[in-house]
Structure 1
Amino acid sequence: MRLVQLTVPTGSREAITGVLDDREIDYVVTEETSSRRYTAVIYFPLPKAAVEPVLDELGEQGVPEDAYTVVLEAETVISRRFDRLKEAYESDDVDEDRIARQELLSEAQSLTPTRSIYVAMTIISAVVATAGLFLDSPAVVVGSMVIAPLIGPALGASVGSVLNDETLFRKSLVYQALGVGLAIAAATFFALLVNVTNIVPSSLELTEVGEINERLAPDLLALAIALGAGIAGMVSISTGLATALVGVMIAAALIPPAAAAGIAIAWGEPAAALGATTLVFVNVLSVNLAGLVTLWYAGYRPEGLWNLGPTESRVRRRVIGLVVIVGIFALFLGGITYASYQVSTFEQDAREEVEAVLAEDDAAQLLDLSVELDESLPVREPSRVIVTVGAPPGEVDPTLAAAIRERVAEQAASDVSVQVRYIAIAEADPPATGADNETNETAESVEPPVPRAPTGPPRIGVSGARPVLGPGR
């Protein structure tokens, strides 16, 4: 529910009250004496879905754009006419559950902080995310997402495009570019500082840290995360729901990959930095694309029929451009995804071949098979296969290792070294059975406990009612 406060310009009072009367809207009029341009102030409650159509109709009746309007959220409205008004405007449709166009524009503008606060919070979140990646701590990485101020610019560009507010659109684009650049630069500087001070040794393998590795070689799942974040962000802001948690999701798509890119740059790994930087850009573009499509589907259009045609054409061009660019990046992510699929398929095929070889030998059995990848990020290929075989001592077939190497190498698309390790498996003799065993168990069960020797000096005390005396007494 909303409470609308509208100033009435001179000569527009009858037109405004006529619209409210026709729609059976309760209102209160107070006289305005502070200015000659306005004669009164009208207060009237509206359901959330009725704000936009009522304000649009009032605008058509001569309310100028410079007449300020305040829309407040109302907790409770008790009125029979208001209940009928809710029934007339509220339904289960998507476009009826959203907030007014005017409220959406105001909300998008308020989500973007001042530039100094935006810069400071972006740098802090990038540094915290970098530390969390080094620590391999998901909790710290999530904390960096909470403080990232990225939701405003990420959603503002889409709102500005759909509502024909080019000022908001350009401001949001500048803030997005500034945020991405600051995040990568701050992460790079902090990672260099950590490297120089030897807090984290320079010999650290980035692929050995799980939180870093998953962002250096992104796959198509990252695209799904970004699109989901953009859709969720627009649904939350357009329906008046809380945007804090959605802001965390948008930051999850941007801040950790930017931090991973900074770490890769500081460690002198340009190929790894390419994968993480690509992930940052594809996430930014995907959030904007999802936001544009979601807002247009929700029914948001610019004010005035004259603006609808140019805005629709502009939105269509931007959507097509974003689809093309995101599609190009998706091909890159698809290549990484396909390489990961090949590695998984190779590991499965290699395991099946080793099990087939060992099935011909009754003494040997497969204990473990692991595939090690090379360091060629972001697309990694198998470099070595380690096969661990268990067999009784002295019963290993000397031709077994050669057969395993040959069968595994046939499954690899490139040269792969195969290492076969043997572990001796010796089974213990079974326990004795029969009468002797039963006798031993019986003897152990009736064995009396061994009394503990007294420690310390002898004591003279009382046992029951009889005194305990020393010798000679």
Structure 2
Amino acid sequence: MRLVQVFVPKGDLELVLETADATGLDYAVSEETSRGEFEALVSIPVPPAAVEPLLAELRAAGFDEDSYTVVTAAETIVSSRTDQLIGQFSGTRISREELQTRAEDLAPAASTYFVLLVVSTVIATAGLLLDSAATIIGAMVVAPLMGPALAASVGVVVDDGELATRGVLFQVTGLLATVLTAALIGWLLRGTVLLPPGFDITTVPQIRERITPNFLALFLALGSGVAGVVSLVRNVGSVLVGVAIAVALVPPAATAGLGIAWGHSIVVVTAGTLVLVNMLSINLTALIVLWLSGYRPHRRASVEHVYGRVRSRIVVLVVAIVVLSMVLGGVTYGTYQTAAVEHDVGTELEAMSDDPVFGDLRFQEVAVEYELIDVYTGTEPAVTVLVERPPGEQEPAGFADTVRERLEDATGGDLTVTVELVDTRRSG
């Protein structure tokens, strides 16, 4: 429930009371005893779905918007009348005015926003370098990047140009600040005693997860965007924390910054694609869900203009997401190919160990060097095979070529194979 309190200027009391009567709402009038310009305070308890119609009726009746209309959330209302009110005004979304206020809170003062952003980036960068999932999750909770995306969409739908511009500006500058902060941290830490000698960021599991984004990441981003908007319009703020963790904007942006620090262009492209897909998907789903939820500018003359802006933005966002999804598709295909080669090699080596043709020889995969970029540059996979043999036993003639041919038949492509023979004696 909500409590709407209207500060009534002198001469407008009858107008406010007639509007409340016309909407079928109960009210209480308190006489204003101060020496100000108000003659009364009208308190109206309403369900959330009634706030927007009530304010629209007041506006249509000519109530002066220079006055004060305060909407507060009522923790508890003890009355048998509430069921009738709720039945009279069906709906679960908050009013346009409440939505606009909440959106403004999601794009806070610049100083607060960038302090939280830098802190979350430092935490995320440390978590990535330490391969600590818990630390990265902490950074996701602190990160304020999702708020401006929702705020920008709300600004467009309710025709608040300042809010929309602020949301877009915060998104762009926030992403740049995150990438540059992570790049600076990486540059400062690279080659220090805090990281092992020859440290390669692409070998860290938490980083590797964000430089090999699957095409399914697009569906995760779209679903998270819908959940975020629904939690906003239905006043379920706790859901936003889970959405922030699910869509994860800061960690891939920080990964792109580390890619700059280490000079890995592939890391920058793949991680950058992931964070852009996430961000654009939130903007897209927010626009669509807000419009379908019935939010419109309070000025009817602006509805057509806003509809055109929403439609054009949706087209631009869809085109951008489709282009970026091609990168995701390429990464997904390349990742599948590298995994398929490694799987086929491992399966064939197990089969060769059980093949009587090779006697007591045992085959183990030591390494398969086949990266995502190799799929598209045509570089052959390099496989190192460790072969255990009993002491004194000799391998067949042309043994290395036989191993290579078997592995090439299994993978369906050319391989560079290195065979390492080790005399092994097993106890028991």
Normalized against structure 2, the TM-score is what? 0.89
User: Residue 126 and residue 246 in structure 1: after superposition, are their counterparts in 2 closer, same or farther (change >3 A)?
Assistant: same
Alignment-derived partner of residue 382 in structure 2: 384
Structure 2 portions without partners, runs of 5+? none
Q: CA offset at residue 231 of structure 1? A: 1.6
1:335 equivalent to 2:330? Answer yes
Q: CA offset at residue 307 of structure 1? A: 1.7
Instruction: Indicate the SS of the match to 2:381.
Output: strand
Matching of residues 1-400 of structure 1 within 5 Å: 1-34=1-34, 37-90=37-90, 96-195=91-190, 197-201=192-196, 203-243=198-238, 245-246=241-242, 248-249=244-245, 253-354=248-349, 357=352, 359=355, 361=357, 363-364=360-361, 366-368=363-365, 371-374=368-371, 376=373, 383-389=381-387, 392-393=390-391, 394=393, 396-400=395-399
Amino acid at match of 1:249: I
2-side partners of 1:202 and 1:128: how far apart?
22
Alignment-derived partner of residue 404 in structure 2: 405
2-side partners of 1:298 and 1:369: how far apart?
56
Instruction: Indicate the SS of the match to 1:25.
Output: coil
User: Residue 75 and residue 379 in structure 1: after superposition, are their counterparts in 2 closer, same or farther (change >3 A)?
Assistant: farther
1-side partners of 2:388 and 2:292: how far apart?
62
User: Residue 207 and residue 151 in structure 1: after superposition, are their counterparts in 2 closer, same or farther (change >3 A)?
Assistant: closer
Name the Cα RMSD after superposition.
2.8
Deviations 1:386-423 (A, max 9, x none): 34455555275445543221132345576532234456
Per mean C-alpha deviation after superposition, the further-off stretch among 65-74 and 6-15 is 6-15
Instruction: Indicate the SS of the match to 1:279.
Output: helix
Matching of residues 400-439 of structure 1 within 5 Å: 400-410=399-409, 415-421=414-420
Q: Indicate conservation of the 8 Å contact 1:122/1:148, yes or no.
A: yes
Amino acid at match of 1:372: E
Instruction: Indicate the SS of the match to 1:227.
Output: helix
Q: CA offset at residue 237 of structure 1? A: 1.1
User: Residue 377 and residue 63 in structure 1: after superposition, are their counterparts in 2 closer, same or farther (change >3 A)?
Assistant: farther
Q: Indicate conservation of the 8 Å contact 1:121/1:148, yes or no.
A: yes
Q: Indicate conservation of the 8 Å contact 1:126/1:187, yes or no.
A: yes
Q: CA offset at residue 378 of structure 1? A: 10
Q: CA offset at residue 330 of structure 1? A: 0.5
Deviations 1:340-381 (A, max 9, x none): 112233334444544555535364555557533248489797
2-side partners of 1:224 and 1:97: how far apart?
26
Per mean C-alpha deviation after superposition, the further-off stretch among 366-375 and 228-237 is 366-375
Alignment-derived partner of residue 93 in structure 1: none
Per mean C-alpha deviation after superposition, the further-off stretch among 30-39 and 191-200 is 30-39
User: Residue 428 and residue 170 in structure 1: after superposition, are their counterparts in 2 closer, same or farther (change >3 A)?
Assistant: closer
Q: Indicate conservation of the 8 Å contact 1:216/1:275, yes or no.
A: yes
Q: Indicate conservation of the 8 Å contact 2:155/2:163, yes or no.
A: yes
Q: Indicate conservation of the 8 Å contact 1:136/1:211, yes or no.
A: yes
Between the two proteins, the alignment pairs up a number of residues equal to 423
2-side partners of 1:128 and 1:202: how far apart?
22
Q: Indicate conservation of the 8 Å contact 2:121/2:251, yes or no.
A: yes
User: Identity over the aligned pairs, expressed in percent?
Assistant: 39
Q: CA offset at residue 246 of structure 1? A: 4.0
User: Residue 322 and residue 35 in structure 1: after superposition, are their counterparts in 2 closer, same or farther (change >3 A)?
Assistant: farther
Amino acid at match of 2:312: R
Per mean C-alpha deviation after superposition, the further-off stretch among 361-370 and 24-33 is 361-370
User: Residue 131 and residue 149 in structure 1: after superposition, are their counterparts in 2 closer, same or farther (change >3 A)?
Assistant: same
Q: CA offset at residue 190 of structure 1? A: 1.1
2-side partners of 1:378 and 1:146: how far apart?
36
2-side partners of 1:152 and 1:189: how far apart?
25
2-side partners of 1:408 and 1:195: how far apart?
39
Amino acid at match of 2:381: S
Q: CA offset at residue 36 of structure 1? A: 6.8
Instruction: Indicate the SS of the match to 1:71.
Output: strand
2-side partners of 1:147 and 1:348: how far apart?
39
Q: Indicate conservation of the 8 Å contact 1:133/1:211, yes or no.
A: yes
Per mean C-alpha deviation after superposition, the further-off stretch among 224-233 and 320-329 is 224-233
Instruction: Indicate the SS of the match to 2:143.
Output: coil
User: Residue 145 and residue 162 in structure 1: after superposition, are their counterparts in 2 closer, same or farther (change >3 A)?
Assistant: same
Instruction: Indicate the SS of the match to 2:63.
Output: coil
1-side partners of 2:302 and 2:3: how far apart?
28
Q: CA offset at residue 212 of structure 1? A: 1.5
Q: CA offset at residue 255 of structure 1? A: 0.9
2-side partners of 1:352 and 1:134: how far apart?
33
User: Residue 88 and residue 398 in structure 1: after superposition, are their counterparts in 2 closer, same or farther (change >3 A)?
Assistant: farther
1-side partners of 2:251 and 2:6: how far apart?
45
Normalized against structure 1, the TM-score is what? 0.81
Instruction: Indicate the SS of the match to 2:309.
Output: helix
Instruction: Indicate the SS of the match to 1:45.
Output: strand
Structure 1 portions without partners, runs of 5+? 91-95, 430-473
Deviations 1:288-326 (A, max 9, x none): 112112212222222132121111111011011100001
Amino acid at match of 1:50: A
- Which is richer in helix? 2
1-side partners of 2:21 and 2:42: how far apart?
13
Instruction: Indicate the SS of the match to 1:328.
Output: helix
1-side partners of 2:134 and 2:114: how far apart?
23
Q: Indicate conservation of the 8 Å contact 2:370/2:381, yes or no.
A: yes
Instruction: Indicate the SS of the match to 2:248.
Output: helix
Q: CA offset at residue 46 of structure 1? A: 0.7
Q: Indicate conservation of the 8 Å contact 1:150/1:247, yes or no.
A: no
Q: CA offset at residue 275 of structure 1? A: 2.0
